[in-house]
Amino acid sequence: MILSSSRAAARLRLTLCSSRLQASCAGIREPIKVCASNSSTAGGGGGVPLAAQPTNTTTVRGAQEKWLQRFQSENIPEPETSISNIIAHVLELSGPGDVGDHQNSSLSEQQIRKIEEMCECRLARMPLQYIIREWDFRDLTLKMIPPVFIPRPETEELVELILQQMDSQKETFFLEIGSGSGAISLSILKHVPKSSGIAIDQSRLACELTRENAAAVGLDSRLRIFKHKLINDLPDTLADEQFDMIVSNPPYVPSVLLPTLEPEIKIYEDLRALDGGNDGLTVIKAILRIASKHLTKDGVLWLEVDISHPPVIEKFLAQHGDTMGLRFVASYKDLFQKDRFVEIVKSC
Ligand SMILES: C[S@@+](CC[C@H](N)C(=O)[O-])C[C@H]1O[C@@H](n2cnc3c(N)ncnc32)[C@H](O)[C@@H]1O
């Protein structure tokens, strides 16, 4: 629905579907340069002497051609998206779609230097979202700071599903487990004006980023944020809370698959955001226990999971759901027709 911003339409797909991860890691080339920062001059230059590049880099067209070729020759994923977003960011355009209108514009020395620094980071496989320090999630532009998890397009689909099923006029009190940049909670708060929520995350940086993004989009008065690692219980201050809804895009990649992730993910993102333990279900099982204790009657739990998980969760609840007061309602497919989203209801 609201995927209309030009940058959102041209997004990098850092998908976490494990089968695709295994396939994509086959193309990883060594050695991988690690980009530590995008604010100071990036060193190196990747070993290609500038003199060997005849392109006129003082225009947008020249810079675009030069870096497109370089990205392609170094097998950087999404080369066109990468350079278009970087140029759009440096020129302060509204999105990569506008770069075409500025092909003949001259670049200042400062702009050229900034583009080069950012492109060097991309050559080091830093995710574009960290390089330009922001990204669109639905209709929100959120700050992105490494290593806090970058929200994925699939999660926009989860939010869409949740919003379709929520009564936008009803007061709803929700809990998000693992808020990352705050993408899910803030989207709900924005579209359900009477909602309020609590977000928890084990990462201090994630909590700070959620807080900063909440303030930036003017939704901080309806969101409380707690740094807490969920193992069995919520923090003591929340021990008596009951929620109408719990939502989570938890870590769900089986630990054994972490080494197979793309460099963008395994070098730059917090692996605690991804590591779901032996079977990928460690945090998911903890969330089910929390839902059993902290959902109101008829309250709903929404989860984004790996494609292998919905039948496992359904079977688990068929065995333990009565004791836990939880009922598996349905699983839903993502744009790739893979079952990725699970709806569970508190039955008593
Ligand atoms: C896959 S990321 C999702 C972030 C965000 N909700 C999104 O969809 O973009 C999972 C998040 O859960 C947090 N997390 C992982 N294990 C956790 C735990 N046991 N308790 C609380 N937060 C946890 C991570 O720090 C990370 O921010």
Domain edges within the chain: 56-124, 137-346
Alpha-carbon torsion (149, 334, 175, 313), positive or negative: negative
CA-nearest residue, atom 26 of ligand 1: 273
**Cis upstream peptide for 54 (omega within 30°):** no
User: Cα of 230 to ligand 1 centre, how many Å?
Assistant: 10
In short, whether 144's Cβ falls inside 6 Å of ligand 1 is no
Q: How far apart are the first and last CA of the chain?
A: 34
**Nearest Cα residue to 345 out of 306, 310, 295:** 295
Tokens of 329: 């309602």
**Contacts (Cβ under 8 Å, ≥6 apart) of 286:** 230, 231, 232
**CA 231 – CA 111 distance, rounded (Å):** 47
**CA 348 – CA 165 distance, rounded (Å):** 20
| Residue 104: active-site member | no
In short, whether 202's Cβ falls inside 6 Å of ligand 1 is yes
CA-nearest residue, atom 15 of ligand 1: 273
**CA 207 – CA 200 distance, rounded (Å):** 7
Instruction: Compute the residue count for the chain.
Output: 348
Beta strands in the chain (DSSP E): 134-137, 140-143, 172-177, 195-201, 223-227, 243-248, 295-304, 326-333, 339-346
Assign a CATH topology to domain 137-346: Rossmann fold (3.40.50)
Q: Are 121 and 90 in contact (CB under 8 A)?
A: no
User: Cα of 81 to ligand 1 centre, how many Å?
Assistant: 27
Tell me: the pLDDT tens digits for 233-288?
999 999 999 999 999 999 999 999 999 999 999 999 999 999 999 999 999 999 99
**Cis upstream peptide for 151 (omega within 30°):** no
| 270 Cα nearest atom in ligand 1 | 25
Tokens of 12: 């990098």
**Contacts (Cβ under 8 Å, ≥6 apart) of 115:** 63, 67, 86, 87, 90, 107
The predicted structure's pLDDT at residue 289: 98
**CA 210 – CA 217 distance, rounded (Å):** 11
| Residue 250: active-site member | yes
| Residue 149: active-site member | yes
The predicted structure's pLDDT at residue 57: 75
In short, whether 307's Cβ falls inside 6 Å of ligand 1 is no
Tokens of 209: 């980023």
Q: Are 300 and 187 in contact (CB under 8 A)?
A: no
Indicate which residue of 146, 250, 254, 310 is catalytic: 250
| pLDDT in single tens digits along all 348 residues of the chain | 223 333 433 344 444 333 322 222 222 223 344 555 443 333 333 444 444 455 677 999 999 999 999 999 999 999 999 999 999 999 999 999 999 999 999 999 999 999 999 999 999 999 999 999 999 999 999 999 999 999 999 999 999 999 999 999 999 999 999 999 999 999 999 999 999 999 999 999 999 999 999 999 999 999 999 999 999 999 999 999 999 999 999 999 999 999 999 999 999 999 999 999 999 999 999 999 999 999 999 999 999 999 999 999 999 999 999 999 999 999 999 989 999 999 999 998
The predicted structure's pLDDT at residue 56: 75
| 152 Cα nearest atom in ligand 1 | 9
Model pTM score: 0.87
